Structure 1
Amino acid sequence: MSRQKSHTLLISQTDSEPSKALLKEIQDMLQFILRRLGLVIPTFIGITLLTFAFVHMIPGDPVMIMAGERGLSPERHAYLMAELGLDQPLWKQYLHYINGIFHGDLGISLKSRIAVWDEFFPRFKATMELAICAMIFAISVGIPVGVLAAVKRGSIFDHTAIGLSLTGYSMPIFWWGIMLIMLVSVQLDLTPVSGRVSDSVFLDDSYPLTGFMLIDTLIWGDEGNFIDAVEHLILPSIVLGTIPLAVIVRMTRSSMLEVLGEDYIRTARAKGVSRARVILIHALRNAMLPVVTVIGLQVGVMLAGAILTETIFSWPGLGRWLIEGLQRRDYPVVQGGVLLVATLIIFVNLVVDLLYGIVNPRIRHKK
């Protein structure tokens, strides 16, 4: 009888061990998530403070800039300053700004008198279309080049890939964009110089269904406008994707070299597994984890690079919108736009961190 009880107790202890391990994993994951979320609030507050301080430190009177050469009488100027709330102390303006954020109100553009939300989303779609195409370009070129550079380590191809990736990473975006325009658009006349579509393209109010030009032209079966939109995307996508491309090449190469030196790779080769299978199945699959993480972190680089890229190519996206808002001292546009872009970057980085913590337990166990 006692032997049967001890046997039953042993089974129950054995069954409880996986449950305890699972519970421990869940607790670790929750702590990891809370640590990451705990960083979001101070980051958010810091962004609002820095953006508010920055735009108000720039010299220039937004009311006088809006008036232009016509100018304003002192009475009219004082009236507009009071109407726009710019006559209040800065601390009151900041509190009003924060209060609006918590109520979902980012303000109204000083120039267009349109809500910042309504101005943001059409331009956000234009920027996202450009960023997605740039990322597709960076991934489709960067990963194969990085893999080949690792496989052919020490070769001319490897040295060339490293050199070009360093050049691409350090090259000023503005200069790179101008050079491509001069060569490809002006000298060779292969692509349009600027814009999202040609001036001859007519789009009525019912045309944009999604706000993404490539998708809308495909939905409407408009082959001519689709090709026109693709041609306008080529150069901006290359310019915006150059830095992520350089990062992906170097990360893929270093990750592949690390994996190719592992024991299980040598074992697979010793067993006669084909070289292509070792590289593409065994090595590349395990080398992709840090590469995917880096790709996720390049979203911030993309959105920062979009400011210059969209200015160079007159692309009607967030970057150009923010620059124009900054030039005319449109405080709500700059503050709201920067906050929304920063929120997007924080969200993407948070998702990448959480996914990386799920697939790599060592990360979430770090304090």
Structure 2
Amino acid sequence: MLNILLRYTNLIIITLFILSLLSFALAYLFPGDPIEIMTGLKLEELQKLQNQSVNIGYDPEGGVLSQYGHYMSELFSGNWGVSFNSGQPLYEEIMQSLPASIELSAYALTISLILGLPLGFIAALRHHKLPDYTLLSFSVVGYSIPVFWLALILILVFSLHFGWLPLSGRLSLIFDVPNKTGFILIDILMSDIDNKHAVLLDALRHLILPTLSIAIVTTTLILRITRRSVIETLNSEFIQAAYARGLTTRQVLVRHGIRNALIPILPLLAMQFPTLLTNAMIVETIFSWPGIGSWLIQAIYQQDYSAIQAGMLAVSVFVVLFTMSIDMLLRLTDPKRKKVERGTI
């Protein structure tokens, strides 16, 4: 166990170091002065602060290594620069936007698991039969649909045509919820506002369409992964031996099939999280959801290079830490997987 922890810790440190180098290099690839991009301040402002004996953390006349050292020092201290357009600290803006993206992705993943896992088991248990062909066809169609096109269709049908659900946003403008955690449902439950039930219902109505846009595509993927894993498990030797001992199909599934089929599914699902977050960032732009994806798109439109640099680094670090942490936990809790895939890292 200690060996696995050390290997994953080294891997995470090396990966984050490479990401920091790439993020630092972006300042030299964007048009403009690298120091301006890293700080979000004009050179005239930097010179004025230096004349006032204010330590800005960056030396425009210093070498690249010196600037990288200051860049990393500022990152660890929470000073990620200032937005060119809003003039606000980038750390605060990212910390306000990222929870909205995580919330949307988490709800979509929860719905996908609730739907995808049972449907995958049904397709596998009815292998080469009508339910299997029907669900497999549904999964192929759902996986082939671009998420942005699906989101637009849902808006056209449920918002513009029927008028059942709101078109965009996270909450109606008539409601004001204090931002404590960044997760809208949690903030509503923790607040002391009036008509909390109405506010919660309004937030749920705003969540339906963007969550479904992501969940439909992810459900088809989970369905296919589950179907393949269950079929492979049911065809394994220990399942055939269980049938030979006289166990019924239900007993075999409950005692051996479900648990062993889910073991290879979990790491595959963890590896799909970057795709899920990418789809969420696309959907945010369409539904005006105030997440990190919508924030980054606005930064690109406004050519806010310091915001682009900080936002890409924040998203990359979050994805790396999440996926590697999940994979490490799975290796620690699954001895069989630990031995078989010991040399894959």
Could you tell me the TM-score, scaled by structure 1's length? 0.77
User: Does the 8 Å CA contact 1:307/1:323 hold for their aligned counterparts?
Assistant: no
After TM superposition, the structure 1 = structure 2 runs for residues 56-95 of structure 1, keeping only pairs within 5 Å, are: 57=29, 79=44, 91=64
CA–CA separation in structure 2 for the residues paired with 1:192 and 1:245: 23
1:353 pairs with 2:324: no
Q: Could you tell me how far 1:35 is from its partner in structure 2?
A: 2.8
What residue in structure 2 maps to residue 366 of structure 1? 343
Amino acid at match of 1:365: R
What residue in structure 1 maps to residue 273 of structure 2? 299
Equivalent residue in structure 1 for 2:109, among 129, 135, 142? 135
In 2 relative to 1, CA 316–153 (structure 1 residues): closer, same or farther, beyond 3 Å?
A: same
In 2 relative to 1, CA 363–265 (structure 1 residues): closer, same or farther, beyond 3 Å?
A: closer
What residue in structure 1 maps to residue 237 of structure 2? 263
Q: Could you tell me how far 1:225 is from its partner in structure 2?
A: 1.2
CA–CA separation in structure 1 for the residues paired with 2:72 and 2:199: 43
Question: When the two structures are aligned, how many residues end up with a matched partner?
Answer: 324
User: Does the 8 Å CA contact 1:303/1:341 hold for their aligned counterparts?
Assistant: no
User: Does the 8 Å CA contact 2:124/2:227 hold for their aligned counterparts?
Assistant: yes
CA–CA separation in structure 2 for the residues paired with 1:316 and 1:90: 38
CA–CA separation in structure 1 for the residues paired with 2:316 and 2:151: 25
- Secondary structure of the 1:210 match is coil
1:39 pairs with 2:5: no
1:327 pairs with 2:292: no
Amino acid at match of 1:356: L
Greater mean deviation of Cα atoms: 133-142 or 33-42: 33-42
Q: Could you tell me how far 1:229 is from its partner in structure 2?
A: 0.8
1:203 pairs with 2:176: yes
User: Does the 8 Å CA contact 2:168/2:287 hold for their aligned counterparts?
Assistant: yes
CA–CA separation in structure 1 for the residues paired with 2:131 and 2:91: 48
User: Does the 8 Å CA contact 2:19/2:317 hold for their aligned counterparts?
Assistant: no
Q: Could you tell me how far 1:244 is from its partner in structure 2?
A: 2.7
In 2 relative to 1, CA 199–258 (structure 1 residues): closer, same or farther, beyond 3 Å?
A: same
1:200-251 per-residue CA deviation (whole Å, 9 max, x = no partner) reads 3x215xx344332222333457111111111111111112223432221111
Amino acid at match of 1:30: L
1:310-339 per-residue CA deviation (whole Å, 9 max, x = no partner) reads 001000011111111222222332222222
Greater mean deviation of Cα atoms: 122-131 or 157-166: 157-166
Q: Could you tell me how far 1:295 is from its partner in structure 2?
A: 2.2
In 2 relative to 1, CA 121–229 (structure 1 residues): closer, same or farther, beyond 3 Å?
A: same
User: Does the 8 Å CA contact 2:78/2:91 hold for their aligned counterparts?
Assistant: no
Q: Could you tell me how far 1:58 is from its partner in structure 2?
A: 5.3
1:50 pairs with 2:15: no
1:160 pairs with 2:134: yes
Q: Could you tell me how far 1:364 is from its partner in structure 2?
A: 5.5
User: Does the 8 Å CA contact 2:282/2:293 hold for their aligned counterparts?
Assistant: yes
In 2 relative to 1, CA 303–94 (structure 1 residues): closer, same or farther, beyond 3 Å?
A: farther
Equivalent residue in structure 1 for 2:252, among 278, 283, 286? 278
CA–CA separation in structure 1 for the residues paired with 2:2 and 2:135: 41
In 2 relative to 1, CA 51–180 (structure 1 residues): closer, same or farther, beyond 3 Å?
A: farther
Percent identity of equivalent pairs: 33
Amino acid at match of 2:5: I
1:101-148 per-residue CA deviation (whole Å, 9 max, x = no partner) reads 244421222222222221122222211221111011110111011100
- Secondary structure of the 1:366 match is helix
Q: Could you tell me how far 1:57 is from its partner in structure 2?
A: 4.1
CA–CA separation in structure 1 for the residues paired with 2:278 and 2:124: 30
Equivalent residue in structure 2 for 1:215, among 176, 186, 191? 186
Q: Could you tell me how far 1:352 is from its partner in structure 2?
A: 1.9
Unaligned runs of 5+ in 2: 35-41, 49-55
CA–CA separation in structure 2 for the residues paired with 1:171 and 1:352: 28
User: Does the 8 Å CA contact 2:123/2:132 hold for their aligned counterparts?
Assistant: yes
User: Does the 8 Å CA contact 1:191/1:231 hold for their aligned counterparts?
Assistant: yes
CA–CA separation in structure 1 for the residues paired with 2:235 and 2:183: 44
CA–CA separation in structure 1 for the residues paired with 2:43 and 2:343: 56
CA–CA separation in structure 2 for the residues paired with 1:45 and 1:115: 23
